[in-house]
Every structure is written in structure tokens, then in C-alpha cells.
Amino acid sequence: MNFIMKEQLLKIAEEAKNVLSAAATAAELEDARVRFLGKKGELTAVLRGMGQLSAEERPVIGQVANEVRGQIEDLIESKKTAVLAAERTAKLASEKIDVTMAGKKPALGKRHPLTTVLDEVKEIFIGMGFSIAEGPEVELDYYNFEALNIPKDHPARDTQDSFYISDSVVLRSQTSPVQVRVMEQQKPPLRIISPGRVYRSDAVDATHSPVFHQIEGLVVDKGITMADLKGTLETFLKTLYGPEAKIRLRPHHFPFTEPSAEVDVSCFVCGGKGCRVCKGEGFIEILGAGMVHPKVLERCGIDPNVYSGFAFGLGLERVVMRRMNIDDLRLFYDNDLRFLKQF
């Protein structure tokens, strides 16, 4: 009995030595500990049989068993230090960052053609002493129509079919309400442009969109005449389209300007001779303008006997389409990179 048990214990010690020397990870070490020293482990199983030993044999075997346990514990302990160090080294190596490696270049976006041209337009007007004004896109019917001399049931409302939020609130159909807001808040001399988004319930096609952009202009001071309007627009359009551009005013009607005009610029393709782009006209309509109606001035608390002013409004999309030879307005809003990358 004594002899067999001693043999078994030495075999366990031998086996443990082999297993532990092969263990390479903390998990494998733990498995080995459970296998040899655990409650259901091999050593415990042998010790359980000690009850059958005689009183003389028990302390002898007990001593061997303790020695074996001690050896295995020491082995595990020393191996643990080595394994943890190796694991730490491996972890550090796998997390190493090569700071000298070339980086990935982030893809750089581009400005949208509408933004590029709007910035150009702003620059031109700022250069002429204008400042930028802003107004709300969700606007009172009063500012979008009433104060601009377009009462309820006025036929001019039909040409600007609007999105109504309620009877008195609309998505602005033009940037002209900003004129009124500026004149209510500031006293002349006034010189502003107001770019922004406008909304009309138009079906989408190559030249229409329910959302587009306008740029409003307003000048109010003593002694402002139609000549100032023409001179300002001529300077603006020549800067935008080149010094050879010519402008032409045609009589028109807007309820909030009197007199009113539509302004054409000589065709940038044929220079005025007539071609397919200008449909043989030589000129292309570019904006609406006029002298601010005395009733509009009065409503904003500006005395029309002392002050006069001019206003104009242009569609940004139209200007960009002509500048960049784009024939379909929908391209601006499709977000197709193949289109946007060209500018």
C-alpha cells in the first residue's frame, strides 16, 4: 500500500512537471492547478486513500504528499511570473504604433457650386459697401405679401404659389420680406443684400424646384434714382460675367416697386449676337428690380417725400446655371459626387 501510493505521488509530481513546463498561458496554468491540486484533482484523490493506511505509514506518505504539493505549487508560482511577463510583452508588441508610418489622407470635400457663386456675389456687394441681412424662412404672411403691397386676393399671389403653415404663416416665397424687416428696424441710409432659401409649391423639372435661393438687394437714402439702380447692377453683372457684359432693363411689374423692370444680361455664349442658349435674343433675363414703392416705405415708417430707394432680387440657381453651363437645376440637389467633383 505504502509503496503503491508513494509511486502514485511521484508519478503525479513527474506528470505535473511535464504539463507545467509546457504551459504557455495563464489559462493553461490554471487548468494544471485544478488538475493536480484542485478539490477534485489527482493529488486529492490519492490523499483520500490515506484513511486506509496504518498509523505508521500515514505520516510517511503524508510527508511525501506534502513535498509533492509544495513542488507543484512552487512550479506553478515560478511559471506564473514567466507566463505573465511573456503575455505582457506580447500584448505590448501587438499594440505598438509605428509613428513613422505614412498616414491615410482624408478625402477633402469641395464647395458646392451654389456656395462658390454666392460667396462671389457677396464679395462683389460687400466691395460696394453693402452688408448682409438675414430673415426667417418661416415667415408671416404680412411680411411675405401684405407689407410688400400684395394684399389678400391680389392676383400677384398666384405667381408665387406658397406653402401655407397657417392662414398667417407661410414658407417665404421670396427674399423681399427681408427688405421690410430691415426697413422696420434700421433707419436710412440702408445698403443690404439678403441671400437665402425660398419656397414655392412648384413641381420639380429642369428649371423649377420647390426650394431654391434668391438674393435680395435694397438701397434706401436721400436722392436715390433709377440711375443708381442701373449703375449698381451694371457694376455687379460686369464683375460677375466679365467687362464685356451689357445689361438691359425692360419694363415690368412688381407690386412693391414702382417703376419696375426686368434686367437682362448679354448672352455669355454669343455675346449678344443671338444663339441657341439665348434663343436668338442676344440677352438673358437675370433679375427683377425697381424703385421701392412709396407705400412700402411709408408702411415701414420711412417718409417717401424725403427718402427713395431701389430693390432687386435674383435667383441664385439661375445665375450659377448660366455661369457654369449647367442645364438641369435638379443636379444641384441630387448630391451626385460625379457632378459635384467637376467644380
Minimum Å distance from CB 288 to ligand PHE? 3
Minimum Å distance from CB 340 to ligand PHE? 27
Minimum Å distance from CB 296 to ligand PHE? 10
- Give, for 314, the enclosing helix (H) or strand (E): strand 308-315
The b-or-e profile of 139-161 (16+ CB within 10 A means b, else e) is bbbebbbbbbbbeeeeeebeebe
Residues of this chain that interact with ligand PHE (CB under 6 A) are 174, 176, 216, 254, 257, 288-290, 311-313
Assign 3-state DSSP to the chain and report helix, strand, coil percentages, each to 5: 45, 20, 35
Nearest residue to ligand PHE by CB is 313
Report whether 167 contacts 142 (CB < 8 A).
no
Q: Rank residues 61 and 178 by Cβ distance to ligand PHE and give the closer one.
A: 178
Q: Rank residues 257 and 266 by Cβ distance to ligand PHE and give the closer one.
A: 257
Q: Rank residues 249 and 340 by Cβ distance to ligand PHE and give the closer one.
A: 249
Find the radius of gyration of the CA atoms of the chain.
44
Q: Which residue has the cell 489527482?
A: 42
Q: Rank residues 173 and 266 by Cβ distance to ligand PHE and give the closer one.
A: 173
- What distance in Å separates the CA atoms of residue 89 and residue 103, rounded to the nearest whole number? 26
Q: Rank residues 73 and 262 by Cβ distance to ligand PHE and give the closer one.
A: 262
Minimum Å distance from CB 306 to ligand PHE? 21
Give φ, ψ of 257 to 5 degrees.
-130, 150
Report whether 36 contacts 43 (CB < 8 A).
yes
Q: Which residue has the cell 445689361?
A: 247
Q: Rank residues 8 and 162 by Cβ distance to ligand PHE and give the closer one.
A: 162
Q: Rank residues 73 and 285 by Cβ distance to ligand PHE and give the closer one.
A: 285
Report whether 277 contacts 248 (CB < 8 A).
no
Minimum Å distance from CB 320 to ligand PHE? 17
Minimum Å distance from CB 137 to ligand PHE? 14
Minimum Å distance from CB 200 to ligand PHE? 9
The b-or-e profile of 185-208 (16+ CB within 10 A means b, else e) is eeebebbbbbbbebbbeeeeeeee
- What distance in Å separates the CA atoms of residue 305 and residue 242, rounded to the nearest whole number? 38
